[in-house]
Each structure stands twice: as C-alpha cells, then as structure tokens.
Amino acid sequence: MNTNIDQIIIRKETKEDFYATELMTMRAFWNLHGPGCNEHLMVHKLRSAEEYLPKLSRVAELDGKIVGAIFYSRAKVIDGDKEHVVLTFGPLAVEPTCFGRGIGARLLKETLPLAKEAGYKGIVICGEPEYYPKHGFVTCDHFDIHHPAFGNADAFMAFPLSEGFEDIHGYFYEAPVFETCEDDAEIEEFTKGFPYYKPLKLSCQWLHVEKLGRISEVSKNSYKILFWEQELPAKLKGSFYEEDAERLPVVGDYVTFLYNGQGDSVILSVCERTSFLQRPDQAKTGVMQYMAANVDYLFIVTSLNDDYNFNRITRYVSIATAGGATPIVILTKSDLCANPGRYIREVEQLSDSVRVHAISALYDIGLDELEGYLQPGNTICLMGSSGAGKSTLINSITGEEVMKTSGIREDDDKGRHTTTYRKLILLSSGVTIIDTPGMREVGMANVQDGIDETFSDIVELETRCRFSNCRHDTEPGCAIKAAIESGELSAKRYELYQNLGRENTKNYALKKEISKWAKAYKKNNKKAMWD
C-alpha cells in the first residue's frame, strides 16, 4: 500500500464498516500482548454499550479500506461519594501494514478538538507509554488519578481538555463492557469469524515499538521477514555478531524487529524456538548447518524411483526427532512404481512413530492423506534430494504454482537443483510451508538423541543386558541377541541402528555420551519410552 497521508479520509464509522474495522483492529493487536488478542471483540461489544460515543469516534480510510479507528466512550473517576465523568478511548487501532505513516496521529488530531468541543474535561487512557506522550499525554500521577488494578504505571495517562480537569482526583473506571471481553472461549468463538492467524505465546510479548515477524528467507548477511502479507528486507542488529551461530535467525524463526518502510528493517531478537532442524555441513568440517526453526512436521520427500534410500530416510527421521519436529515420510511418484507397498512396509519398520504416505503429485494420488498435517497454524518443512518432487508437492497442495519445479536430468535421473534456497511461504489457509533445495547427502552429527528416540526400543533393550558394557556379541545374558532370536527385534533394524550410531560417533566422539546416557537410563530404571 503506497500511503500518501493526504489521501487518508477520517470519517464516522458506518454499519458497512463494522467487519472491516474489527478485522483491522484484530490485526493491529494480534500477538502484541499475548497469544491472539481481544480488542476486536471489545470494538464489537462497545458499539452497543450506553457509554459508547459514536459522535466522537472515527475510522481512517485509505484506497477504500479501513486502516485505522479510534473508539471513544465515557468513563468515571470516583473520589469517595463524588463521581466525575471523563472520556477514554480504546482501542486506537492502526492496520499493521500501514504502520509509521501517521494514521494514529491523524485520528487523534481530528478527534481531540471534537472531544473538547463536546465539553469533556479530560481523557484518561491505558496505552502505549512510548507513543502517547508525543501527543501531549502525561502520566496520571500528575493528576492524582489512580488505576484500581495496576496503580499508576507508565501506561496510565491523561490528556486534559479544560482547566477543570485539575480538580478531578480518585479512582478511574472504564465502561463495564470492557470487563466482559476476557472470556477465552468467547474470544475464540468470535475470532472464528475472521481469517485465521496463528496465536503465539512468546516471552517477548509485551511488544512496544518493536514488531513481531517470521524469517522467510536467509542469504549471507541479509534476511527477509514475513510481516503480515509483506516481505521486508532486514539486517541483524550489531550485537548478533557476538552470538553463537545457532542463535542467528534461520528460516521459520519468529523475530522482533524495528520496522523500516524505506529500507532494511533491523532484527532485534530471535524468539524461543519450538523446534530446530540442524545437520553437519556437506564439507564435513564438523560445522553445523542450521536449517529451519519452529517446524511442526518434517516431510521427508523421497521419490519411488532410484532416489529411494532407506538409510537416508533414517537419517532425516533422526534429524527431525532430534530437532523436535515430527517426521513424516512422503514417498513420491507412486505412479512410476509398480509396488509402492513394499517401500511403505520397509519404512514403517523404522519405528512405530514414523508415518509413511505414498503419493503421486502429478496424478493426485494419496494427497488427501496429508490433510491432517495441513491444518491452519502448522508449519511443514520439506526436505529430500533434488528432483524428489518437493516443490511439485507444494504446488499440488496449494493448487497454484507457488514454487518453480523442473524435470530431472534424463541421462542420470538426478535432479537439477531447481529450488536453490530455503523459502518460507504462508498459504491463505493459514498453513506455512518451508521448501528447501535438494540435499546431496545428510550427515549425522549431534543427532544421537534423535537416533536414540527413533530406536527407543533398542536403547531400552540394551539396558536389560546382564552386563552394562555388553557389546551384544558373545556375552551371556544379552537382551539384544535374545530379542533378535525371538523375532521381537529385526536383525536389519538393529544393524541400521548400529551403522547410524557408528557413523555419528566416528566423527564426533559421542560414544562416551551415549554410554553415559544408557547408564543413566538403566539407573533410573525407566519404563520403555514406547510403553
């Protein structure tokens, strides 16, 4: 939106504006002070309250859209048996993508004289302490006016409209309607009437001048932040260069930032992550590559042609599990495979917790099985070799060509690396997708936790061996050998566990860690994780 401040129309709200004003208000306050917000419900209820003052309230319109609103209502300051009528407003909302363009200031400038003309003595509000003082508001301790709930914090401010305001002292009470907007179930139900936005609970909330966005692209030292429908170019705040590499933003991270409509926004902090996918870099230097954060499901995409590689799938599963995401194996191009069932069964052997789907994106086979994962608010990251069909699958899911795809090279059946960087896209359904470029190989460092979790049954069996240092070779009382003999454990699965563990420990000397872990596990005599 290209805002020219002169094009903004300040006017009274009409019935036809109600939905648009509530949606704009919801966007203005969403995730600012906690998960979601209730300000849109406040607006909705306030309109029918007797204290509401439509004569003073205004909306801001730009290019035919509601981009701001201020809602005035009567409030009271009570001093013993004396009751003074004052004004309050709230919410004062500005469409977040029109931030920093003076819309809030215009709404105040046009309505403050109206409030004065109407004969009110002053305005008392709870609002942003870094914003309102610029417009002449001062904290209420200057007037001996108190808030019954939180005393006299910086956010509790007043704007005198006439001299008589100096004589008003006591406790401030808003219209009772505001107190009726706190019921979570009611807020949730009301919010269903609007487009889906994910409620987030983050330690950085309460946000002031800083904004909350999500990293959609990373390249060398520059970033892109997805902020509502906009992608903003961004750079890191200087102090990030003293941080460990794993603290730098990756695709999928929620970040706080200072908005700059003219150039690069500045990333201030990376919010806590619910999951974090990492692997050693391809040059095997031992340096980790940090791939994506806050992923709910890792779609491990393997095509059912020459790309299929059971060991590789296992490594991806371990990366997902170690990173805190749920692994889902997607076997693509089932139309090119005579017996997909064989592969499904093989992958299913890996662990009870791994789910497998065989699909054909080209012929729309099996895609309905993925619907459970494609729920609003979920983040799905796709990984796998080049040419496996990751981008094609994304396009089939969305029904649009959101990602470029390409034919595999005919001579060697290898992909062409069509997707060249990790990219986060938010679909209109509320699902977030992270597409990644095809990987040549997947290493294993630091994923022992993931391996152990994937093979938790084997880890548990090992703790039952008679000797704690049992090599599962010739020792008597070996639980692993007994389980293989009885058929409880497949020899192939055990071999795979050994190979992955060996590969992991060979490079990074984690063997000690593993034995320590196993001993602690035995000592605690825990039940099997899969019980």
User: Where along the sequence are the contacts to ligand GTP (CB under 6 A)?
Assistant: 332-333, 335-336, 360-362, 384, 386-392, 405-408, 415-419, 437-438
Dihedral over Cα of 471, 472, 475, 480: its sign: positive
Joined together, the tokens standing for residue 517 give 């872990």
Joined together, the tokens standing for residue 418 give 């069509």
Shortest CA distance to 215 belongs to which of 394, 30, 424? 424
Residues of span 427-446 touching Mg ion by CB under 5 A? none
Q: Give me the residues paired with residue 93 across strands.
A: 69
Query: Is 418 an interacting residue with respect to Mg ion (CB under 5 A)?
Result: yes
Question: At a CB cut-off of 8 Å and minimum separation 6, what does 356 contact?
Answer: 328, 329, 330, 331, 344, 347, 348
Closest distance to Mg ion from the beta carbon of 388 (Å): 8
Report the distance separating Cα 252 and Cα 434, nearest Å.
8
Residue among 21 and 392 whose Cβ is closer to Mg ion: 392
> Of ligand GTP, Mg ion, none, which one sits near residue 501, judging by CB under 5 to 8 A according to partner kind?
none
Shortest CA distance to 425 belongs to which of 390, 396, 394, 399? 394
Residue among 59 and 361 whose Cβ is closer to ligand GTP: 361
Query: Is 419 an interacting residue with respect to Mg ion (CB under 5 A)?
Result: yes
Closest distance to Mg ion from the beta carbon of 265 (Å): 28
Joined together, the tokens standing for residue 403 give 């990602």
> Of ligand GTP, Mg ion, none, which one sits near residue 80, judging by CB under 5 to 8 A according to partner kind?
none
Report the distance separating Cα 237 and Cα 234, nearest Å.
10
Residue among 324 and 415 whose Cβ is closer to ligand GTP: 415
Residue among 358 and 408 whose Cβ is closer to Mg ion: 408
Among 391, 448, 456, 463, the residue binding Mg ion under the rule CB under 5 A is: 391
Closest distance to ligand GTP from the beta carbon of 220 (Å): 20
Residue among 38 and 419 whose Cβ is closer to Mg ion: 419
Residue 216's H or E segment, with its range, is strand 211-219
Binding region for Mg ion (CB under 5 A) out of 30-38, 386-394, 456-464, 508-516? 386-394
> Of ligand GTP, Mg ion, none, which one sits near residue 344, judging by CB under 5 to 8 A according to partner kind?
none
Closest distance to Mg ion from the beta carbon of 59 (Å): 44
Report the distance separating Cα 119 and Cα 53, nearest Å.
13
Residue among 65 and 416 whose Cβ is closer to ligand GTP: 416
Whether 410 and 462 have beta carbons less than 8 Å apart is answered as no
Closest distance to Mg ion from the beta carbon of 393 (Å): 9
> Of ligand GTP, Mg ion, none, which one sits near residue 129, judging by CB under 5 to 8 A according to partner kind?
none
User: How far is Cα of residue 524 from the mean position of the Cα atoms in its chain?
Assistant: 36
Residue among 360 and 446 whose Cβ is closer to ligand GTP: 360
Helices 184-191, 39-46: axis angle to 10 degrees equals: 90
> Of Mg ion, ligand GTP, none, which one sits near residue 378, judging by CB under 5 to 8 A according to partner kind?
none
> Of Mg ion, ligand GTP, none, which one sits near residue 258, judging by CB under 5 to 8 A according to partner kind?
none
Residue 248, classed as helix, strand or coil, is coil
Q: How many residues bind Mg ion (CB under 5 A)?
A: 4
Closest distance to ligand GTP from the beta carbon of 137 (Å): 54
Residue among 318 and 391 whose Cβ is closer to ligand GTP: 391
Query: Is 395 an interacting residue with respect to Mg ion (CB under 5 A)?
Result: no
Shortest CA distance to 311 belongs to which of 335, 346, 357, 352? 346
Q: How many CB atoms lie within 10 A of CB 410?
A: 7
Residue among 125 and 394 whose Cβ is closer to ligand GTP: 394
Joined together, the tokens standing for residue 314 give 């296992």
Residue 16: half-sphere exposure toward Cβ, Cα within 13 Å: 3
Q: Which residues bind Mg ion (CB under 5 A)?
A: 390-391, 418-419
